[in-house]
């Protein structure tokens, strides 16, 4: 091969490498003045299509001005990707942020833009649920926009209750009596699908609040109490007792959330302490089931008043590191997301309830039970609380979830679980 040929080949190689790198670098460039923003969404298995539809509707409405690129991934992978997404190129301009401790992590890291300006400019102050707004406030500033208000309750099958002659429990003692009766009839009292680790916390948190009131739990969240204190150990103890009494369907730690619909539709389990998305999940597997399902608020200990958990979900943050133009575009997207039109789409898709107080729920073709729940949520005054996974930072929450899996399996004692979580808290 001649020298000239060699040089030519080398030059070609270098040129193509450089060209390729350049192409890679500039692949994110937008054209023709449309502001493109990246939206990072989390898939939950409920209403994912609605979320996608909202993006499409926004893109149509604002064609020529804004364009949203949506990326969606399941919950676990979303947690993995958040670090690299936020710190990398093509970072999302608007993203799902959780509430509580996890949101605080992001705020502390400097990725959450304070949104008070947009709140007043776009009227979110008036439109959005008051509780949601207060949850969005950290150190006096609002950092996310709640697009959904959720709650958790005890979902049950009324026909099973009727058949077994069980009345709706109003105290924990009655709840446990009902469970015993169901067990004696061969029906699993609770379907606890804890494979993904997150369901047991609903039970635990509700037990703490039911036995002690929300203030005790919120003290723990604020760091003014220890996990090893009696109220919390007692809650774990109850979970373990129920496990030993055989009140859970099958082996909770190996039943995934998606699986839980199956014993439900077969009538093999009677109750499930779950978020208000549960009927929507059920509808996916058996549309008739939502006509039959009902709920009752988790009963308090006798003499106390029960408090329902209500919290902000589907929370959206705007990336503080994006430039003003992209932040404004993101705000436009969020504004659309909380508009009555989009909120209706979201609610119909199963993500309940809309945070926009102007949405008329009766127009949404929701099952009656959901309307009833919404009414109850609105009527609850006074303090509420958030489940562990939301309220605490990732590290503490994860240790809690792991330890609780052990408690359910009876491989970890309540005292041990408490100590483990307290140790992680102390290490912060």
Partner 1 sequence: MTRSGVVSEIRSVVPETTGVVLRGKQASRPRARRRYSITASVAAGIVVLLWLYPFWLSLQTSFKSDADIRESPFSLPLPPTFGAYVRAWTTLDMPTLLGNSLVLAAGGALINVAVTFPIAFFIARRRVPFADAVFVFFLVGLMVPQQMVILPLYRIAESIGLAGPLLGLVLIHGVYGIPFSLLIFRGFFAGIPRSLDESARLDGCSDTGVLLRIIAPLSGPAVATVLVLQFINIWNEFLFAVVLLNNSPNWPVTVGVLPVQLSQYFVSWNLPAAALLVAQLPTLVLYVVAQRWVVRGLTAGAVGG
Partner 2 sequence: MAGSVNGSRRLRLVRRPSARVSLAKRAWKAQWSWQGMLYLIVPTIAYIALIIVPIVMTARLSLYKTNGFKTPEWVGFDNYTRMVGDRAFRKAFVNTLIWTAITMTVPVAIGLVYAAVLNSPMVRGRALLRALIFLPSTMSLVTLGIMFSLVYNSSFGALNGALNKIGLGFLTQDWLGDPNLVLYSLVAVFAWQFSGLCMALFNASIQQIPEELYEAAQVDGANGLQRFFHITLPRVRPAMVVVIALTVVQSLRSFDLVYVMTKGGPDNASALLGFFMYVQTFVNRNQGYGAAIAVVILLLSLVFAIVYVRRVATREAFDE
Total binding residues toward partner 2, as defined by CB under 8 A = 35
141 scored as a contact of partner 2 (CB under 8 A):
no
Q: Supply the minimum distance, in Å, between the C-beta of residue 97 and partner 2.
A: 14
Is residue 177 near partner 2 by the rule CB under 8 A? no
The binder of 27, among partner 1, partner 2, none, by C-beta within 5 to 8 A per type, is: partner 1
Nearest to 357 by CA among 133, 143, 126: 126
Instruction: Verify binding: residue 358, partner 1, rule CB under 8 A.
Output: no
Q: Which of residues 224-283 bind partner 1 (CB under 8 A)?
A: 256-259, 261, 281
322 binds partner 1 (CB under 8 A): no
Q: Which of 89, 130, 167, 222 binds partner 1 (CB under 8 A)?
A: 89
Among 251, 285, 305, 363, binds partner 2 (CB under 8 A): 251
Residue 197 interacts, among partner 1, partner 2, none and using kind-specific CB cut-offs from 5 to 8 Å, with: partner 2
Phi and psi at residue 216, to the nearest 5°: -60, -45
Of 77, 120, 363, 411, the one binding partner 1 by CB under 8 A: 77
Work out what residue 281 binds among partner 2, partner 1, none; the CB cut-off runs from 5 to 8 Å by kind: partner 1
Of the candidate spans 61-69, 133-141, 246-254, 287-295, the one that interacts with partner 2 by CB under 8 A turns out to be: 246-254
Tokens of 368: 């009656």
DSSP 67: E
Residue 82 contacts partner 1 per CB under 8 A: no
**Cα 278 to Cα 232: distance, rounded to the nearest angstrom:** 26
Q: Does 152 bind partner 2 (CB under 8 A)?
A: no
Q: Interface with partner 2 by CB under 8 A: which range of 114-122, 175-183, 252-260, 293-301? A: 252-260
| Interface with partner 2, residue 111, by CB under 8 A | yes
Please list every residue from 1 through 20 that binds partner 1, using CB under 8 A: 1, 6, 20
One of 49, 108, 126, 323 touching partner 2 (CB under 8 A): 108
Residues 6 or more apart whose CB falls under 8 angstroms from that of 411 comprise: none
Contact in structure between 175 and 299 (CB atoms under 8 Å): yes
CB of 387 within 8 A of CB of 201? yes
SS3 382: coil
Which tokens belong to 316?
Answer: 């959206």
Return the beta strands (E) in 110-268 as ranges: 137-138, 141-142, 145-156, 188-190
Tokens representing residue 324 in the block: 């003003």
- Give 93's DSSP letter: S
DSSP one-letter string for 282-349? HHHH-TTHHHH-EEEPPPBSTTS----EEEEEEEEEEBTTS-HHHHHHHHHHHHHHTSHHHHHHHHHT
Q: Which is nearer to partner 2, 48 or 268 (CB)?
A: 268
Between CA 317 and CA 247 the distance in angstroms is: 40
Q: What is the DSSP string of 362-374?
A: GGGT--HHHHHHH
Given partner 2, partner 1, none, residue 291, with its beta carbon under 5 to 8 Å by kind, binds: none
- 142 vs 195, which CB is nearer to partner 2? 195
Please name the residue that has the structure tokens 């008036």.
Answer: 126
**Could you say whether residue 105 binds partner 2 (CB under 8 A)?**
yes
First to last CA, the chain: 65
Considering only 121, 134, 137, 254, the residue that binds partner 2 (CB under 8 A) is 254
- What's the rounded Cα separation, in Å, for the pair 189 and 181? 9
Overall residue count recorded for the chain in this entry: 428
What's the closest the beta carbon of residue 298 comes to partner 2, in angstroms? Answer: 24
Q: Which residues bind partner 2 (CB under 8 A)?
A: 76, 79-80, 83, 87, 105, 108-111, 194-197, 250-255, 259, 262-263, 394-395, 398, 402-403, 405-406, 408-409, 411-412, 420
Q: Which residues bind partner 1 (CB under 8 A)?
A: 1, 6, 20-21, 23-25, 27-28, 38, 43-46, 48, 69-74, 77, 80-81, 84-85, 88-91, 256-259, 261, 281, 284-285
């Amino acid at each position: 091969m001649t020298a000239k040929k060699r040089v030519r080949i080398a030059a070609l190689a270098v040129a193509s490498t450089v060209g390729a790198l350049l192409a890679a670098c500039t692949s994110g460039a937008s054209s023709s003045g449309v502001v493109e923003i990246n939206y990072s969404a989390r898939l939950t298995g409920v209403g994912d299509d609605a979320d996608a539809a909202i993006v499409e509707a926004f893109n149509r409405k604002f064609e020529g001005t804004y364009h949203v690129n949506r990326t969606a991934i399941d919950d676990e992978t979303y947690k993995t990707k958040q670090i690299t997404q936020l710190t990398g190129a093509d970072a999302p301009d608007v993203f799902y942020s959780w509430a509580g401790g996890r949101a605080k992590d992001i705020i502390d890291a400097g990725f959450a833009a304070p949104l008070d300006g947009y709140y007043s400019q776009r009227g979110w102050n008036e439109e959005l649920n008051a509780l949601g707004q207060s949850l969005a406030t950290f150190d006096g500033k609002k950092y996310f926009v709640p697009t959904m208000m959720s709650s958790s309750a005890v979902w049950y099958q009324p026909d099973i209750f009727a058949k077994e002659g069980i009345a709706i429990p109003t105290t924990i003692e009655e709840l446990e009596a009902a469970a015993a009766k169901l067990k004696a009839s061969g029906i699993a009292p609770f379907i606890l699908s804890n494979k993904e680790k997150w369901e047991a916390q609903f039970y635990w948190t509700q037990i703490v609040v039911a036995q002690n009131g929300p203030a005790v739990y919120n003290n723990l969240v604020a760091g003014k109490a220890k996990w090893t204190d009696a109220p919390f150990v007692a809650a774990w103890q109850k979970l373990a007792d129920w496990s030993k009494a055989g009140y859970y369907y099958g082996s909770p730690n190996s039943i995934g959330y998606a699986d839980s619909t199956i014993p439900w539709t077969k009538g093999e389990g009677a109750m499930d302490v779950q978020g208000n998305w549960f009927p929507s999940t059920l509808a996916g597997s058996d549309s008739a089931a939502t006509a039959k399902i009902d709920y009752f608020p988790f009963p308090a200990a006798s003499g106390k008043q029960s408090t329902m958990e209500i919290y902000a979900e589907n929370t959206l943050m705007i990336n503080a590191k994006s430039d003003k133009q992209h932040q404004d575009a993101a705000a436009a997207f969020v504004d659309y997301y909380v508009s009555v039109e989009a909120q209706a789409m979201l609610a119909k898709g199963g993500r309940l309830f809309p945070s926009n107080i102007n949405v008329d729920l009766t127009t949404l073709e929701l099952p009656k039970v959901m309307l009833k729940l919404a009414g109850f949520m609105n009527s609850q005054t006074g303090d509420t609380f958030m489940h562990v996974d939301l309220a605490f930072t990732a590290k503490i929450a994860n240790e809690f979830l792991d330890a609780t899996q052990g408690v359910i399996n009876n491989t970890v004692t309540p005292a041990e679980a408490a100590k483990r979580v307290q140790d992680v808290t102390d290490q912060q």
